Structure 1
Amino acid sequence: VVSAMLPDPGLRRRATLLDGFAAELAASCPGATLERVPVRRWADLWSRALLLTVPGSAGERSDGSVTGRLLPLGVDVQEHATAVQAQVHAVFEPADGGAPRLVRAGVSAPKPDTVVGAGLWQLLRPRMSLLGAVSEGRSMELDAMPVTAEGDLVWDDERARAGEPADPFATARVRLSAATAAPVVPLDRHPVRIAVPVLLEGYAAHSEEGGLAFDLAGRPLAVDTDRMPAAGPLTPEAVAASHACVGLLRWDAGEFLLQPLAVETTVRKKTVAVHAGAWAGGTTDKAGVRAEKAATDAVAVLRERAGRLLRK
């Protein structure tokens, strides 16, 4: 049922939630072995699933279309054992000269639990050309691309083409502060949904209570390195050595956290940018090539086994 729902954009949010919830329940069996039953979390997931069945509540309805230039800022990767999603956060510049907007473009795919790390991109690349542009550091020219009232692009490769080179840090420094965010529908007005693109510079990184934090004007801001995907070259070490960061400001456990999407660091007296989504469209980076090869081998084995089963 879930596999049939995932390809439909109108059912994808419900399918992903249901799939993840079912996987959590299955992994928790037998319940007697659990140290603590996450009653509030499971009740929240089930309530959310029921609310999403109300017509119009899922928020996928297109609210028109946009034409102009899309300037990617970074990629947020979310996954569980049977599904993966990549969400590109970007600044959109309308062709008519209007004010820039914050938008998102997401792509998701079902996956076997053995495909992890860089292998995730092999599942997502064929579904969205934007990932290639992110990897190459390019903008995208959009022509009548559908968009929801919340600023989510309903991606269609036929309505997009690769544009000129666009550095995410240049975009953040020049356009991010002027970009406006779309209003959030009432159902999604929950702190856990906060994910605001920000640019931070001039901070000092230090360890704090076993984690990493940025010192900004004498105030610490915790860095959520656990959210950084293994499917890219961005590491906690690179974040700790950085002097500029594009990330998502989030709220969790009663405090604001920063999820890094890209950082600028100094290597041999030169400024180098490291992006979480650098391998999204493929890479020539040695570490990325090795990870891709290992993932390709795993996918090939799975396809061969699936073919054998179908031939029986």
Structure 2
Amino acid sequence: LVRAGVSAPKPDTVVGAGLWQLLRPRMSLLGAVSEGRSMELDAMPVTAEEDLVWDDERARTGEPADPFATARVRLSAATAARVAPLDRHPVRIAAPVLLEGYGAHSEEGRLAFDLAGQRLAVDTDRIPAAGPLTPEAVAASHACVGLLRWDAGEFLLQPLAVETTVRKKTAAVHAGAWAGGTTDKAGVRAEKAATDAVAVLRERAGRLLRK
């Protein structure tokens, strides 16, 4: 297993789906996430803990890759990088998992999955506002790809994508579906507002640099 991550400074005026605007310089990665495609990497730098040092010049978009199909075939055989003893801490746990066949219920306003007689709390606070995935979609789902985390003395599930039933058909909802752009009305409004805000901030930053 490897991790691919990118980051950017976040102004307070950019919220919701507009956050993707800040990361658009990494468009090859965001496009692959939103389109559900694999990526082909060539000599991409990687740390000892299997974190990719992302470079768009070393990546290109590959074939379509459904996250659920990939997880069902490959995830059980995947292995994580070894962590040095002095770096081990429960807060670092973020294990990718595929859950299926569970029942969802709300307990004291908190969503949880019942799986094989065990209860697993779902951390809906970690669901980003910058995508179509919602707590309601998670509650109505029957399959989930997420990260198993340890927080406040218990394991929690951070949903990344779910499969649910819409009009008697299985539909997938992904947290990163809007990464490369969206036609959703609310998402489009947020994108436009973010575009305007980012343009103003860049113009002001340019003025400061010219002084």
Q: TM-score, normalised by structure 2?
A: 0.93
Q: Report the alpha carbon displacement of residue 207 of structure 1 after superposing the two structures with TM.
A: 0.2
CA contact (8 A) 1:107 1:128 kept: no
CA contact (8 A) 2:4 2:52 kept: yes
CA contact (8 A) 1:214 1:221 kept: yes
Q: SS where residue 177 of structure 2 aligns?
A: coil
Q: Report the alpha carbon displacement of residue 237 of structure 1 after superposing the two structures with TM.
A: 0.5
CA contact (8 A) 1:222 1:256 kept: yes
Q: Distance in 1 between matches of 2:59 and 2:141?
A: 33
Q: Report the alpha carbon displacement of residue 297 of structure 1 after superposing the two structures with TM.
A: 2.6
The Cα offsets for residues 74-109 of structure 1, whole Å up to 9 and x where unpaired, read as xxxxxxxxxxxxxxxxxxxxxxxxxxxx11011111
> Which of 169, 174, 187 is matched with 1:288 structurally?
187
Q: Report the alpha carbon displacement of residue 186 of structure 1 after superposing the two structures with TM.
A: 2.9
Q: Report the alpha carbon displacement of residue 199 of structure 1 after superposing the two structures with TM.
A: 0.2
Q: Report the alpha carbon displacement of residue 184 of structure 1 after superposing the two structures with TM.
A: 1.2
Q: Distance in 2 between matches of 1:105 and 1:275?
A: 17
Q: Aligned-pair RMSD on alpha carbons? A: 1.7
Stretches of structure 2 lacking an aligned partner (at least 5 in a row): none
Q: SS where residue 43 of structure 2 aligns?
A: strand
CA contact (8 A) 2:103 2:113 kept: yes
Look at both structures and tell me which one has the larger radius of gyration over its CA atoms.
1
Q: Report the alpha carbon displacement of residue 280 of structure 1 after superposing the two structures with TM.
A: 1.0
Q: Report the alpha carbon displacement of residue 164 of structure 1 after superposing the two structures with TM.
A: 0.5
Q: SS where residue 2 of structure 2 aligns?
A: strand
CA contact (8 A) 1:128 1:155 kept: no
Distance 1:155 1:308, change over 3 A: closer
CA contact (8 A) 2:161 2:174 kept: yes
CA contact (8 A) 2:44 2:52 kept: yes
Number of matched pairs? 211
Q: Report the alpha carbon displacement of residue 188 of structure 1 after superposing the two structures with TM.
A: 2.7
Q: Report the alpha carbon displacement of residue 310 of structure 1 after superposing the two structures with TM.
A: 6.3
CA contact (8 A) 2:16 2:129 kept: yes
Q: Distance in 1 between matches of 2:84 and 2:131?
A: 32
The Cα offsets for residues 186-231 of structure 1, whole Å up to 9 and x where unpaired, read as 3431101100000000001100122100010121100000011111
CA contact (8 A) 2:15 2:190 kept: no
Q: Distance in 2 between matches of 1:252 and 1:231?
A: 23
Q: Report the alpha carbon displacement of residue 185 of structure 1 after superposing the two structures with TM.
A: 2.3
CA contact (8 A) 2:18 2:187 kept: no
* 1:199 corresponding residue in structure 2: 98
Q: Report the alpha carbon displacement of residue 299 of structure 1 after superposing the two structures with TM.
A: 2.2
Q: Distance in 2 between matches of 1:143 and 1:305?
A: 37
Q: Report the alpha carbon displacement of residue 311 of structure 1 after superposing the two structures with TM.
A: 7.1
Q: Distance in 2 between matches of 1:110 and 1:291?
A: 18
Deviates more, 1:249-258 or 1:153-162: 153-162
CA contact (8 A) 2:6 2:23 kept: yes
Deviates more, 1:297-306 or 1:118-127: 297-306
CA contact (8 A) 1:234 1:262 kept: yes
CA contact (8 A) 1:262 1:273 kept: yes
Q: Distance in 2 between matches of 1:179 and 1:189?
A: 20
Greater relative contact order (CA < 8 Å, ≥ 6 in sequence): 2
Q: Distance in 1 between matches of 2:87 and 2:12?
A: 29
Percent of aligned pairs with the same residue?
Answer: 95
CA contact (8 A) 1:125 1:132 kept: no
Stretches of structure 1 lacking an aligned partner (at least 5 in a row): 1-101
CA contact (8 A) 1:246 1:260 kept: yes
CA contact (8 A) 2:103 2:115 kept: yes
Q: SS where residue 182 of structure 2 aligns?
A: coil
Deviates more, 1:118-127 or 1:282-291: 282-291
Q: Report the alpha carbon displacement of residue 306 of structure 1 after superposing the two structures with TM.
A: 4.5
Q: SS where residue 6 of structure 2 aligns?
A: strand
The Cα offsets for residues 31-77 of structure 1, whole Å up to 9 and x where unpaired, read as xxxxxxxxxxxxxxxxxxxxxxxxxxxxxxxxxxxxxxxxxxxxxxx
Q: Report the alpha carbon displacement of residue 178 of structure 1 after superposing the two structures with TM.
A: 0.7
Q: Distance in 1 between matches of 2:68 and 2:165?
A: 15
Q: TM-score, normalised by structure 1?
A: 0.64
Q: Distance in 2 between matches of 1:132 and 1:257?
A: 29
Q: Report the alpha carbon displacement of residue 291 of structure 1 after superposing the two structures with TM.
A: 2.1
Q: Report the alpha carbon displacement of residue 309 of structure 1 after superposing the two structures with TM.
A: 5.9
Q: Report the alpha carbon displacement of residue 294 of structure 1 after superposing the two structures with TM.
A: 2.3
Q: Report the alpha carbon displacement of residue 147 of structure 1 after superposing the two structures with TM.
A: 1.4
The Cα offsets for residues 259-283 of structure 1, whole Å up to 9 and x where unpaired, read as 0000011111111111111111112
